[in-house]
Amino acid sequence: MKVLAVLYKGLEAARQEPRLLGTVENQLGISSWLKSLGHEFIVTDDKEGPNSVFQKNLKDAEVVITTPFHPGYLTRDLIEQAKNLKLCVTAGVGSDHIDLDAAVDHKIQVLEVTGSNVTSVAEHAVMSILALVRNFVPAHEMIERGDWNVSEVARNAFDLENKVVGTLGAGRIGYRILQRLKPFGCKELLYYDYNPLPAEANKDLGARRVEDLKEFVSQLDVLTVNAPLHPGTKGLINRDLLQHFKTGAWIVNTARGAICDKDAIAEALKTGKINGYSGDVWNVQPAPKDHIWRTMKNPLGGGNGMVPHYSGTTLDAQKRYADGTRQILQNHFEGKPQDPANVIVGTGKYETKSYGQR
Ligand code: NAI
């Protein structure tokens, strides 16, 4: 069987650190296992254009492994050319780089390693919220520059205590963020999601659900975005919605870059409509050198907490999604049922309730 994987190049770091499993060099730790079973395993980072290793090998691959970190974009057109394709595995969480409707139409299954990095992302989101609210990055940069001017950074530093924080999407990550924020004594924890939190899960949390999106954002000091990217969330945070935010609110988006309108965010930050924007996900990855989110700032020269897409790829997370990928493959080879939580698209239908109300 031909198995094709698109991973990112880890270079020197991956040679020095074998736990960087999600790299071309370390091949999710499954290379010798796959070969011992007689399968052909092609691993590449070369993914763009018809002559790329990815697109050339896709034509007769039966299984494709991709990650959200260096996404091998599986468009409808490519899916239609992939005549043998039966299974797409996302080594991680978030399969928006695959045309899921096309996978449904062509009876190609799409599986994720659900839950593999949700705590990793939740921790990053909480860190980013604190870093923005407390104005950490400009304060650190001042120190590196050799300067010392307390009021210059304190003028835009606040406590998280008594702020209203809300998550757009209260699934595995959104819920974990709210759980972790509980001890900070926020004024209120809110959420917006068409799937309500189970009563049991919300018992200790006491998060309030708001059903209207504009009403939701208008109450927030901090928004954290934790919904998958699908037609119902693409560009959801745009110029129109930003007008409904409190002036000076902070946004942390570790879900998907394209949920936010790139230019509308940069403009809102520049004018001070929002005080900060942070996250690790971009509308194109790798982000171009001149992507405005790399350098955008608020009127005081801070408010930017952007990093490359790595919140869900800590070494702990890499072990979990590499092991999970192996388990999914093993089930596929042996004809065993898959863990239902991992199935985004089953044979010919959506199995998840997270990619819009279908
Ligand atoms: P999940 O499936 O457990 O939860 C997603 C929640 O979003 C669901 O409750 C769903 O109902 C809700 N939702 C969907 N559309 C919505 C909408 N229009 N409005 C409000 N809520 C909506 O997924 P999980 O594990 O919490 O992950 C969420 C997303 O986070 C992933 O799909 C992925 O895009 C992103 N992610 C990012 C990572 C990173 O490294 N930055 C790593 C892992 C996930």
Q: Residue 128 burial (CB < 10 Å; 0-12/13-18/19+)? A: buried
Q: Residue 357's pLDDT is what?
A: 84
**Could you please report the per-residue DSSP string of 170-236?**
-SHHHHHHHHHHGGG--SEEEEE-SSPPPHHHHTTT-PEE--SHHHHHHT-SEEEE----STTTTT-
Ligand 1, CB cutoff 6 Å, lining residues: 92-94, 117-118, 121, 168-174, 192-195, 226-229, 232-233, 254-256, 280-281, 309, 311-312, 354, 356
pLDDT in tens, the chain (358 residues): 999 999 999 999 999 999 999 999 999 999 999 999 999 999 999 999 999 999 999 999 999 999 999 999 999 999 999 999 999 999 999 999 999 999 999 999 999 999 999 999 999 999 999 999 999 999 999 999 999 999 999 999 999 999 999 999 999 999 999 999 999 999 999 999 999 999 999 999 999 999 999 999 999 999 999 999 999 999 999 999 999 999 999 999 999 999 999 999 999 999 999 999 999 999 999 999 999 999 999 999 999 999 999 999 999 999 999 999 999 999 999 999 999 999 999 999 999 999 998 7
228-233 contacts, C-beta under 8 A, 24 or more apart? 228/94, 228/95, 228/96, 228/169, 228/255, 228/256, 228/354, 228/355, 229/94, 229/96, 229/255, 229/256, 229/258, 229/259, 230/96, 230/100, 230/355, 230/356, 231/356, 232/356, 232/357, 233/259, 233/356
Q: Residue 239's pLDDT is what?
A: 98
Pocket test for ligand 1, best of 121, 180, 259 (most atoms within 8 A of CB): 121
Q: Catalytic residue positions?
A: 117, 256, 285, 309
Q: Residue 3's pLDDT is what?
A: 98
Residue nearest to atom 42 of ligand 1 (CA): 312
Record the pTM: 0.97
